[in-house]
Amino acid sequence: MDTHFTVRPARVEDVAAMARVLVASWRETYRGLMSDDVLDDPGLVAARERFWTAALVDERYRANRVALAERDGAVIGVAMAGPPEAQASEWSSHLYVLYVLAAEHGTGAGAALLNCVVEPHESVALWVADPNPRAQAFYLKHGFVRDSAVQNVEGVRSIHMVRGAHGRD
């Protein structure tokens, strides 16, 4: 498989393509874990466009790092990391989004996106769906370990994974 792709910071003009990739990735990844009503909602792409627009232009999210991977001008993956939501978090960063189209798994795009939005020295946490063995194996390979936290949001069980030293950098 061709592994030539580009990773770059996302721009507002990318939001439509980013929304389509996110929704396609959700449908590939979460079918059977998330409600079909959510995944098949005709307004899902437009809602994700609003999400990405806010992530890129709203002052509240100015500390976030948002990136995309593209091949031949087409977006194939998206990522976003930023400050943890909880002020008292033990982690300096939180990985909020990392999705790569299934056809692009194994190309290195996921690792490149991760490295673009999270510095190697940062302590970082994330939530990953469970079961999602491929994603969990990816994060383990990149130095994350599971801690004891579990959450259930909209019927999807997720486990907490962390990397790096405890405490803010």
CATH architecture entry for 6-163: 3-Layer(aba) Sandwich (3.40)
Break the chain into its structural domains and give their ranges.
Answer: 6-163
Taking 70 as the pLDDT cut, the residues of the chain under it are 1-3, 87-88, 165-169
Single-letter residue type at 148 = S
pTM above 0.75, yes or no: yes
Residue 88 is predicted with a pLDDT of 61
What are the structure tokens assigned to 61, written together? 């999210």
Residue 169 is predicted with a pLDDT of 40
Residue 26 is predicted with a pLDDT of 95
